[in-house]
Amino acid sequence: MSCVTIWIQEAKMANPSPGIAILGAGIFVKTQYIPRLAEISDLVILKAIWSRTEESAKGAVEIARKHFPEVKCKWGDDGLNEIIQDSSIVGVAVVVAAETMVEMSLKMLKAGKHVLQEKPAAASISELETAMSSYRNISADSPCRPIWAVAENYRFEPAFVELKKLIAETGDMMNVQLIIEGSMNSSNPYFSSSWRRNLSGGFILDMGVHYIAGLRMLVGCEVASVSATTSHVDKTLPGPDNITSNFQLENGCSGVFVMVVSSRSPKILWRVVGLKGTVQLERGVEGGRHGYMATIYGEGGTSRTIFYPFSGVTEELKAFFNDISETSKEQEPRLSYMEGARDVAVLEAMLESGAKNGAVVPVTKF
Give 37's DSSP letter: H
Q: What mean pLDDT comes out for the span 87-96?
A: 97
Residue type, 338: M
Strand-pairing partners, residue 305, are 295
Distance CA 7, CA 114 (A): 11
* Predicted TM-score of the model (pTM): 0.92
- 134-172 burial, b if ≥16 CB within 10 A, otherwise e? ebeebeeeeeebbbbbbbbbbbbbbbbbebeebbeebee
Query: pLDDT digit string (tens) for 205-218?
Result: 999 999 999 999 99
Indicate if the pLDDT at residue 14 is higher than 50.
Answer: no
Q: What is the pLDDT of residues 161-176, one digit of tens each?
A: 999 999 988 999 999 9
Give the confidence band of 142 by pLDDT, cuts at 50, 70, 90. Answer: low
What pLDDT, on a 0 to 100 scale, did the predictor assign at position 8? Answer: 47
Q: C-alpha distances in angstroms, 127 versus 100, 150, 196, 248, 280?
A: 11, 15, 17, 25, 35
Which of helix, strand or coil describes residue 280? Answer: strand
The 262-274 sheet, strands edge to edge: 303-309, 289-297, 278-286, 262-274, 173-183, 254-260, 242-249, 223-231, 361-362
Tell me how long the chain is.
Answer: 366
Neighbours of 78 (CB within 10 A): 8
